[in-house]
Amino acid sequence: MALELFGDSFKAELFEELVELNKQALAEAKRQVSQKTTWVTITELKAKTGWGRSTLEAWRDQGKFRSMQKAKGGKYLYDLEDALRFCRSLAK
């Protein structure tokens, strides 16, 4: 095996690096899972943020927060947490 050519200290270093990378990957996976996305309609978004439809749609079109459209020409759904985060940033 090619690793045998580099010696035991190289293998030990490589193993430590792999363990550290796995720890970082696990932490990132946990972080992403903990950030649950709540998709809401424009009506719900208006109620939660207090902003009007045209303003929210303009911000959506500017990419200020995440949204998705299930079908071309269909209704949009909005990432509630992302939109609320953006609205809070306006108050600062």
User: How far is 86 from 77, CA to CA, in rounded Å?
Assistant: 16
Q: Is the distance from CB of 64 to CB of 86 less than 8 angstroms?
A: yes
Contacts with 30 (C-beta within 8 Å, 6 or more apart), sequence order:
none
The stretch 18-26 carries a mean pLDDT of 90
Does 15 map to a domain? yes
Domain count, the chain: 2
Is residue 2 assigned to a domain?
Answer: no
pLDDT at 28: 76
Range of the domain at 81: 39-91
Residues 31 and 43 in one domain: no
pLDDT at 34: 65
pLDDT tens across 39-82, in order? 999 999 999 999 999 999 999 999 999 999 988 889 999 999 99
Q: What is the pLDDT averaged over residues 4-33?
A: 83
User: Whole-angstrom Cα distance, residue 83 to residue 40?
Assistant: 10
What's the pLDDT score for residue 32?
A: 66
pLDDT greater at residue 18 or residue 10: 18
